[in-house]
Amino acid sequence: MKQHSRHLQAVMFLAGLTGYTLCIAAVDAAPPGGVVPSATRPRVAAVSGDEQRSLIEEDWLQSLVEPLTTQSDAAGAVDGVKDGKYAFHTGGDPCPWWQVDLGHVQPITRLVVYNRLDYAPGLHNADTLVVLTSDDGQQWTQRYDNEGRHFGGISGAPPLEVVFPDGALQARFVRLQIPSDQPILFHLDEVEIYGPDDPSRNLALHQPADQSSLSQWSTAKVHKRRGFPTEECLARGRRLAAHLHTCGVDVAPHLAALDRAERQLQMLPGDAPESEQRRVYFAARWAVRQLVFANPLLDFDQLLFVKRFTQEAYPDVCLNHMPWVSRPGGDLCVLRGEGGAGSLFRAIADPAPVTGDAAAAPPPPSLTCLLNGALGPGHVHGMDLSWDGTRVVFGYAMARSDQPPEGWLDRTQSYRLRRAEEPIHIFETAVDGSALRQLTTGEWSDLDPTYAPNGNIVFVSERCGTSLQCNEYDKDETSCNLYVMRPDGSGIRRMSVSKDGDYLPHTLDNGLIAYTRWEYHERSWAYIQSIWTVRPDGTGADAIFKQHFVDPWALEDTRSIPGSAKLVAIATGHHTLATGPLVIVDTAGGINTPQGIGIVTLGVQPPEGGMDGVPVAEGGVQDNGGFYSTPWALSEKFFLASYTHGDVSTNPVGYGLYLVDVFGNKELIYRDPAISCFIPIPLRARRTPPILPELFNPIAGDATCVVSDVSFGCEDLDPQQIRYIRVAEPIGWPYDNQLGGQRYGEKGPTLINWTPIRILGDVPVEADGSAHFRVPPDTAVYFQLLDENRMELRRMRSFVSFQPGERRACAGCHESRGVAPRLSPGPLAATLPPPTPLPAPWGSGPVSFLRDIQPILDRHCVECHSGLQPAGGHDFFGGLTEWSSQYEQMWGRVPGYGFNRAFETINRAQLVAIAEPNLQDASITPVLAYGAHKSRLYTTITQAPHTQRVTLTDDERLRLTMWMDANAPYHDGFVNKRADAPAYDLAQDVELRGKLHEVHQKRCASCHETDAITRLDWIDIHRTEGSLFLRAPLAASAGGTEKCGSAVYASADDPDYQAVFALVDDALARAWAHPRRDLQALMRYPLRQSLTRSP
């Protein structure tokens, strides 16, 4: 930790009952980076007209470059560059392919394939590669099958080399394909093909290539330019002129300019040289540009914006808040007209060249850099303008120098960088550079501030101390939630609770705060980045759009459109920056209606995922690719935004400021070739949104909820079936700067849940279908409808949190709000005090399979369902299992992962109906889709013939059903990656297995395969003598089961029995002395009768 800039007072509470860490926000005694000056010394410079004219015309030419295609991406594998990185990248389709056209049928003697080496999870994707050839590109013949063998590339393992006998193979097209029925990513470094005539000449070099699909990582390796669309340009201008005429603009001079340009086009001969075509095209563009900037909505002469290098480090909705993600550099900037009212956009419309008639043109605008180094090296990270237009609040990431820190592009370095680099803090300054002050300090990054209507400041922060849930095997990364503070930086408190993250808040014209919530509670980790709103006091949080449909994967940077209930946003992906098409969002048609998305920029696609919605009625902008960012609406038809050309959204210097309209026009306002520009905001006073009354009470404790009709929205259920509502909490993964991120689970064959689940209680539903209950504040909760047996009927695969003292009421299951609630008298429950919730049988902590469920299986199931031939092939023994070796090869052994045999059996045999953690699903949860009612384990154990042998107690039945309805989690706590003493994982003890194998080889090999009975998951973790390879061969008279037919060990005094017992007993002693995560749950609630018992 950096000690020179902060005196950290941190309190950490390790909850012994639950196994997760709560972090209390740090308090600083001194501001970071030394003393913050009380004012800046802004730097003012004139904007060169010559440079801007050149940039404008260059921008027009760049817009003519053809968009990214499968061919332009595929060309990377035949460009002669071998660097171990991906040269092309498909989009995750089944049976993806890449191919090259050699130009004509010719003999092929050798094929060399260089694998991509820089991404461990994809290192083996191409192991099953096959080679096909064709003479016509239509009929294909398989020539080679790699059969799962791994190959390398420029280093390490050698590349794949396939040799064909001279003259045996002739073809024009060569295709490489991964035969897979499931979607898989295909990416290689380079492909080389050689023939017999010149064995050293690569026949594939720079030849036309193609591939099956594009991905967010695809880039164009070749760039072609289309012709000059002069007619389209003039048509756009005329559409705009017709609209501006209705707004009172005198468009006659502009129409005359368009007419002149059109006559020039008509006079142009068909064989005119490119220079003449370009001249006429530029004439049309300049004419339209003058019209574009005659818009009466451009009634301001100062434009506030941010210069900042575009984020390059791991772009992702949940990773854009790290202080080192961008190169240091940039400033808060003001572009100002210097010729009186209206001069800014007159000068921008037609920048005067230095050699032009200065008297006939407005003076060039000036550019003011407000900070001008006052805070040292770093970059601005989010910014907002006060309602009166006098102050700017912004996040600033201080850096050690003007260079990024070592390792900044490597996500595995995040733990070190977080401890070494200064977090992002929030500052405020007057628009003239005076009154600079720091508002936040501490060990957590605070960023992306927005002014609330009452002057408070809402911002994004890592103060929640929550780790990301995915890709954390070798990384340490945080998620963010919303916080609010008073105008002077005091009174910081939490507004939202999300284990996955809340981002990019902006105050809307109705006084609410809009933000993007990423969530994947039992739904897709990719598809759910929807628009939420919350009151500025943190109450009333709710989703308003894109909660239950897939494309686009995310809507981000949502802002109000003046004079409209509609919103402007960016449609984007998940593993991306907030870049993509600029869209209008209309929530009036419903929360889950893709047609509510009006696409303004049709030629732009999200950098990841698909794009639903409808084009705006006027047609929109037909870009050739590129990406939009940080939009600001002037109306429903005109927008300021950042934009970059090309197919790389992270171009550090690519983004400039533009004016975009629905009629198809896009004109550059300002660009700095040396750095990107973002967040254009007219620098002027705005109407303050309504100040909403505060509804939270910090001393009131719990929030209170009233549901008027729990059956509303559940038409497939008889209302009388619903007798309880369950309140449950998905617990976020903890993070602190000493231990880094703690983990729950990773993708693997036995992952069921992303988080531990804590059941807060079940509350009764009154006769009229209403319910009234309390919910702890600042806690993410979800709800389930239950029947009379407290079994799930429907679940909420989302979550919400409440503020202290908040009172919320809802109609019922209103995931689809397009239908008005039923008319009914006041809910009965509201007239009654909230009842005490019925608790889970295991108490207030999260459920643990090993502690709370396995004992039921031990009592009722293990006698038949264990051993070499468990009944029905279902083994419910309680021995511990190790984590998948496939994933250990990739990420190393992980002490604390692993399950037990019964849990793996249940999971692999799909005996419980769960919402799978990697399920790519965004839909509304159906009735009776998951849980105990749909689970074979429950129906089997509670129906004949099992009921003849098994009688569950009420407590056991409730434990089983509540666990299943919680989506059947295994663990109740987390893995500390940096424990002082690593846990001993008995299931991974190779030495123990070897010693047991020696004894079994001597005593058991005559009847058994030694490996089949030398199983560490046969060890009874509670009683050494209960281990199956000790009980089965032991004589019944000595306390064994003698399942081997005749006793192998006549008594417990047998030396080999004693040896095996000692080995297991010692291992169990170590396991309990240094318990892995699942055993810790048993230690919190001891069930073990005794560790050992002498034989």
pLDDT in the model for residue 1085: 52
> Sign of dihedral through CA atoms 545, 547, 548, 553?
positive
Bridge partner list, 446: 461
Q: Assess whether pLDDT exceeds 50 at residue 501.
A: yes
- Cα–Cα distance for residue pair 947/940, rounded to 1 Å: 9
Dihedral of the alpha carbons of 165, 166, 167, 173, in degrees to the nearest 10: 70
Average pLDDT over residues 725-754: 84
Bridge partner list, 714: none
Radius of gyration of the chain (CA): 33
Q: How far from chain centre, in Å, is Cα 223?
A: 31
pLDDT in the model for residue 821: 54
DSSP string for 820-881: PPPP-S--GGGGSPPPPPBPPTT-SSPP-IIIIIHHHHHHHTTTTS-SSS-GGG------B-
- Cα–Cα distance for residue pair 755/918, rounded to 1 Å: 13
Q: How confident is the model at residue 29 (pLDDT cuts 50, 70, 90)?
A: very low
Q: List, in order, residues 6 or more apart from 559 with CB less than 8 Å away.
A: 506, 508, 514, 567, 568, 569, 631, 632, 633
Q: Which of 5-14, 269-278, 484-493 has the lowest mean pLDDT?
A: 5-14
Tell me the per-residue pLDDT of 648-705, one tens digit each, with 9 for 90 and over.
Answer: 999 999 999 999 999 999 999 999 999 999 999 999 999 999 999 999 998 889 999 9
Instruction: Please state whether the peptide bond connecting residue 552 to the residue before it is cis, i.e. omega within 30 degrees of 0.
Output: yes
Dihedral of the alpha carbons of 976, 463, 844, 951, in degrees to the nearest 10: -60
Q: What is the DSSP letter of 412?
A: G
Report CA-CA distances (Å) from 667 to 259, 578, 631.
Answer: 20, 21, 14
- Cα–Cα distance for residue pair 254/231, rounded to 1 Å: 16
Smallest Cα–Cα separation from 706: which of 817, 826, 612, 849?
A: 826
Bridge partner list, 502: 517
Tokens representing residue 484 in the block: 């609010």
Tell me the per-residue pLDDT of 131-154, one tens digit each, with 9 for 90 and over.
Answer: 999 999 999 999 999 999 999 999
DSSP string for 283-328: HHHHHHHHHHTT-TT---SEEEEEE-PPP-S---TTTTT-TTSS-S
Tokens representing residue 920 in the block: 């790519």
Cβ-in-10-Å burial (0-12, 13-18, 19+) of 674 comes to: exposed
Q: Assess whether pLDDT exceeds 60 at residue 7.
A: no
Other CB atoms within 10 Å distance of the CB of residue 460: 29
* Plot region of 968 (φ>0 → left; ψ -120 to 50 → alpha; else → beta): left
How large is the greatest C-alpha to C-alpha distance in the chain, in angstroms?
Answer: 114
Mapping DSSP onto H, E and C, the string for 743-754 reads ECCCCCCCCCCC
- Within 460-548, where are the H helices? none
Bridge partner list, 131: 144, 176
Instruction: Give yes or no for a contact between 19 and 1081, defined as CB atoms under 8 angstroms apart.
Output: yes
pLDDT in the model for residue 698: 87
Higher-confidence residue of 686 and 68: namely 686
Query: 219: number of CA atoms within 13 Å, CB side?
Result: 13
pLDDT in the model for residue 226: 74
Tell me the per-residue pLDDT of 400-423, one tens digit each, with 9 for 90 and over.
Answer: 999 999 999 998 899 999 999 999
**Token pair 């686009």 is at which residue?**
552
- Cα–Cα distance for residue pair 392/839, rounded to 1 Å: 49
Average pLDDT over residues 725-730: 96
Cβ-in-10-Å burial (0-12, 13-18, 19+) of 220 comes to: buried
pLDDT in the model for residue 1095: 37
Q: Which pTM was predicted?
A: 0.88
Tell me the per-residue pLDDT of 923-939, one tens digit each, with 9 for 90 and over.
Answer: 888 888 899 999 999 99
Q: Assess whether pLDDT exceeds 70 at residue 160.
A: yes
- Cα–Cα distance for residue pair 715/988, rounded to 1 Å: 50
Instruction: Give yes or no for a contact between 1065 and 1092, defined as CB atoms under 8 angstroms apart.
Output: yes
Tell me the per-residue pLDDT of 303-342, one tens digit each, with 9 for 90 and over.
Answer: 999 999 999 988 887 888 999 999 999 999 999 998 888 8
Cβ-in-10-Å burial (0-12, 13-18, 19+) of 621 comes to: buried
Average pLDDT over residues 716-745: 91
- Cα–Cα distance for residue pair 644/627, rounded to 1 Å: 5
Question: Which amino acid makes up residue 1088?
Answer: R
Instruction: Give yes or no for a contact between 585 and 558, defined as CB atoms under 8 angstroms apart.
Output: yes
- Cα–Cα distance for residue pair 640/149, rounded to 1 Å: 53
pLDDT in the model for residue 712: 82
Tell me the per-residue pLDDT of 448-461, one tens digit each, with 9 for 90 and over.
Answer: 999 999 999 999 99
pLDDT in the model for residue 3: 34
- Cα–Cα distance for residue pair 755/743, rounded to 1 Å: 9
pLDDT in the model for residue 473: 72
Tell me the per-residue pLDDT of 245-298, one tens digit each, with 9 for 90 and over.
Answer: 999 999 999 999 999 999 999 999 988 999 999 999 999 999 999 999 999 999
Average pLDDT, the chain: 89
Bridge partner list, 726: 762, 784
- Cα–Cα distance for residue pair 1083/1075, rounded to 1 Å: 9
Helix, strand or coil, per DSSP, at residue 895: strand
Cβ-in-10-Å burial (0-12, 13-18, 19+) of 521 comes to: buried
Question: Which amino acid makes up residue 867?
Answer: G
- Cα–Cα distance for residue pair 782/759, rounded to 1 Å: 10
- Cα–Cα distance for residue pair 660/669, rounded to 1 Å: 10
- Cα–Cα distance for residue pair 444/737, rounded to 1 Å: 9
- Cα–Cα distance for residue pair 651/661, rounded to 1 Å: 24
Q: List, in order, residues 6 or more apart from 46 with CB less than 8 Å away.
A: 338, 363, 364, 365, 366, 367
Q: Assess whether pLDDT exceeds 60 at residue 21.
A: no
In the sheet with 457-461, reading across from the earlier edge strand, the strands are: 446-451, 457-461, 481-485, 493-494
